[in-house]
Amino acid sequence: MRIAQIAPLAESVPPRLYGGTERVIAWLVDELVKLGHDVTLFASGDSRTSGKLHPVWPHALRLGRRGADPNAAYALLIEAIAQCAGHFDVIHSHIDWLPLPLLRRTGVPFLTTMHGRLDLPGLPEVVREYAEAGFVSISDHQRRPLPDANWIGTILHGLPTGSLQPSYERGSYLAFLGRLTADKGPEDAIRIARTAGKPLRIAAKIPRAETVYFKKRLEPHIDGESVQLVGEVDDTRKQPFLAGADALLFPISWPEPFGLVMIEAMACGTPVIAYRSGSVPEIVEHGLTGFIVEDEAQAIKAVNELGRLDRRKVRARFEERFSAKRMAKEYEGQYRKLIAPGEGAERERALQLPRT
């Protein structure tokens, strides 16, 4: 199949630092290429891919030139899709609602993976307008606010099994990895670690909008010893950070659509202690790959029970449930369902393009 992948422009694909969606897209493209498909990635020009890169903006917006207008960048992205749509058998969008007016008019089968939260005002109206558009959720919980959307499947994220190597020895600290925002639970993580008597290492970005929150609520507790801030980590530094942890703390207080860091920890053999919120019950298997808890008290108790868990089994369940190959094959199945029998071949003859 000839497949177009439309990526966000905030980060490169894969991202240099923080960026879950772009990382998943990179893995998906690589695996689809391995499966023999002709994949074109529409993304920022500093992206790297084993498919064909169609650069629509020179650099990722977050780490690129200050003052760039995101609307201008996305206008060029939409135009690129409009000009090239007829060359594909299927178009896969990862940028939510923005390209729907165009995609419904191209005549090319398409689907959209929703990567964010869906409990926001105005979204039911969009769903009603685009009743024919097929959507993929990244957890069953994510789709609950929009039950009337045309959900064609839930496909859990996956990552390459060789990208993160496991450690089967217990770690010496607890880890927190993510954005330093209140709904991610960094304050809870600090209290949990301190009460449990374990050092906490925080690998996280500080969003500009959260600078005041960080200064007032978090920075006073970061002493460089019992609580240490190591900053954003790239893929190279993420490996030892997660593998060296006794557990990943994931005390979220929002409807997390997936939580990529949970399966990254599992890939390292590191169990997860997470609040029961959002997708957590679909990712963590209580008593096997970690503990699902209701509050700080239960989280502290879980820290003291980490010795019950077998890190080899944590890694094994990651390989069974969350590989990038499994993810790509599930998307491949959805693509084939969307393409009517013979439709791809007819378009191919009209365009006189070779089929992969």
Average pLDDT over every residue of 203-221: 91
CA angle, 341 as apex, 340 and 346 as ends, to 5°? Answer: 90
> What predicted TM-score, i.e. pTM, was given to this entire model?
0.92
* Predicted pLDDT at 232: 86
pLDDT value of residue 344:
46
Cα–Cα distance, 158 to 27 (Å, whole number): 8
Q: Does the domain formed by 173-320 have CATH 3.40.50.2000? A: yes
Q: From CA 10, how far away is CA 60, in angstroms rounded?
A: 5
pLDDT at 353 over 80: no
Report the alpha-carbon distance of residue 326 to residue 174 in Å, rounded: 30
Mean pLDDT, to the nearest integer, of 331-346? 79
Confidence grade of residue 7 (pLDDT, cut at 50, 70, 90): very high
| Structure tokens belonging to residue 154 | 């839930």
Domain range summary for the chain, segments of one domain joined by +: 2-160+323-351, 173-320
- In the chain, the N- to C-terminal Cα span, in Å, equals 6
**2-160+323-351 shares its CATH topology with 173-320:** yes
For 41-94, the pLDDT digits (tens) are 999 999 999 999 999 999 999 876 666 899 999 999 999 999 999 999 999 999
Least confident of 26-30, 60-64, 99-103: 60-64
Encoding tokens for residue 77? 């992205």
200 SS3 class:
strand
DSSP state letter for 11:
S
Q: Check if the beta carbon of residue 257 is closer than 8 Å to that of residue 116.
A: yes
Place of tokens 């209290």: 191
Q: Which helix (H) or strand (E) holds 152?
A: strand 151-154
Please name the CATH architecture into which domain 2-160+323-351 falls: 3-Layer(aba) Sandwich (3.40)
pLDDT of residue 356: 45
State the pLDDT at residue 2: 98
Measured in residues, the chain has a length of 356
